[in-house]
Amino acid sequence: MSLSYEERKKTILDLLAKEEKVKVPALAEQLNVSGETIRRDLERLDKEKKLKKVYGGAVKTGSDSWEPPFELKASMNAAEKRAVGKLAASLVEDGDSIMLGNGTTTMEIIRFIGGKKNVTLVTHSTPAMLLAMELFEGRIIFIGGEVNVDQKSANGPLAEWMLEHLKVNKTFISAGGVSAVDGITDYDLQEANISKKMMERADDVIVLADYTKMGKTTFARIGELKDISVIISNNRCPDEWKRILAEKNIELLLADEEDTF
């Protein structure tokens, strides 16, 4: 008995969540239908904005190259970011040295580490530095360099040179996207380079990514999934991604927004 469109749709979208690209011949064989049926399905799903039809198949619609300004990002998914930041802060131990990448989610960590002792915080994010000066009692090291006005951070060769001379226990970075194919990505090339350097200079790498980032690819590649120790997301993380990360032996921690109140 042939599958209905809704059944084929589910299979196609499940495959896209994992592979991020599907091809007509493989789908036709797997679903036991003609290539013409698959092409019609892909056209219909394209019109529904579920995927983007390309020559010979389809790709995810999640590829994105524009990053909102810092102030706008701060107002987006605020509850999820606060919950993820609080859970991330629980991984910081007395005596740790940590690096915080730029981002409104990593900034939330600062609000929850006030009780930690002898912690050194390294960041290139101006808002994170200013918040740390207000709430954090440990040592603060600010990484300077060329200023990205929109994202309120320092980056470029000078910032990378400074990071090269430091070594920390844990690095926390915000991801623009988390992809099974493209790995960890960001919107800005220079920001991605800083995050990559921070990953290289840490014993453990913790990526913060709420459910909207899972299965998404943005412009600049930071690193591979295998480079990560832990991913912290929220409780709306898709089941497919729970399975993917388990298969790759990457620890996934899920935050609950209600825990922040």
Is the pLDDT reported for residue 33 higher than 50?
A: yes
Residue ranges per structural domain of the chain: 5-59, 70-260
Element (H, E) at 59: strand 57-59
**Which is higher by pLDDT, 18 or 94?**
94
| pLDDT tens for each residue of 36-80 | 999 999 999 888 877 888 888 888 765 544 455 545 555 456 778
Integer Cα distance of 143 and 87 in angstroms: 25
Question: Taking the domain 5-59, which CATH number applies?
Answer: 1.10.10
Average pLDDT over residues 100-114: 93
Q: What is the DSSP letter of 257?
A: G
Query: pLDDT per residue over 115-126, tens digit each?
Result: 899 999 999 999
From the list 113, 117, 146, the residue with the least C-alpha distance to 128 is 113
What is the number of other CB atoms lying within 10 angstroms of the CB of residue 23?
14
Q: Which residue in this structure is represented by tokens 């299965």? A: 215
Listed in sequence order, the residues at least 6 apart from 1 whose beta carbon sits closer than 8 Å to its beta carbon are none
pLDDT of residue 66: 45
What gap in Å lies between CA 197 and CA 195, rounded to an integer? 5
Which CATH architecture describes the domain 70-260? 3-Layer(aba) Sandwich (3.40)
Give the per-residue pLDDT at 65: 46
